[in-house]
Chain A
């Protein structure tokens, strides 16, 4: 299967700071990337869908000004958590899809564990 990397794998930050998470597709071009969040013992929840070169589409309840997504190339999408608070502590996972017409398998990154103190 295709490979998606995320960086960093783990980050601890102080409340009020911003954190940037990178998601890269290493061996394929991801026309669409997804950002998910998973709280302990809960399912993955889709936060937003980003298409290369256009604005991300956010799910209901996700603040676009707080979770900034940039998908500037076919191999890189970034999620910036601005003014992070302890309730933002979670496991953030990205996935990439090649193609965009019908369903293609989503390849998930290894996730980034964010802890906000």
Chain B
């Protein structure tokens, strides 16, 4: 079983729409959780960390459910510039990051 599983998409949504991505992880001992954004042929960049209490950064909201080993990312009022691949990342052990395959989002004008 993969450490991190994501729906690869693609998600094609109109501008202004709200879209949600989900991710599950297999190791209950995982310690930290993140969403990264990766543009085509570029390196991943940290979008936000994910906390049990949930956290929000502008149009982006991340949630963690440890009991269900489930992480989510909600994007409100989608912009064209949000088009990218969103990677769910789980840390297990010191500095060991496990990446999901990513969910591709395309925001359509």
Chain A: residues with CB nearer than 8 A to chain B? 1, 32, 34, 41-46, 49, 91, 93, 97, 100-106, 108-111, 113
Chain B, 67-109, contact with A by CB distance < 8 Å: what is the 0/1 string? 0000000000000000000010001001111111110000000
Count of chain B residues with Cβ under 8 Å from any Cβ of A? 21
Q: Which residues of B are in contact with A by a Cβ distance under 8 Å?
A: 4, 8, 31-32, 41-46, 87, 91, 94-102
A43 near B100 with CB under 8 A, answer yes
Whether A108 and B101, one on each chain, are in contact in the complex, defined by CB atoms closer than 8 angstroms, is no
How many residue pairs link A and B with beta carbons under 8 A? The number is 49
**Using Cβ atoms and an 8 Å threshold, which residues of chain B touch A100?**
94-95
The smallest beta-carbon distance between B78 and chain A, in angstroms, is 23
Query: Which residues on A sit within 8 Å (CB–CB) of B91?
Result: 103
User: Quick one: given A42-B101, A43-B100, are A103 and B44 in contact (CB under 8 Å)?
Assistant: no
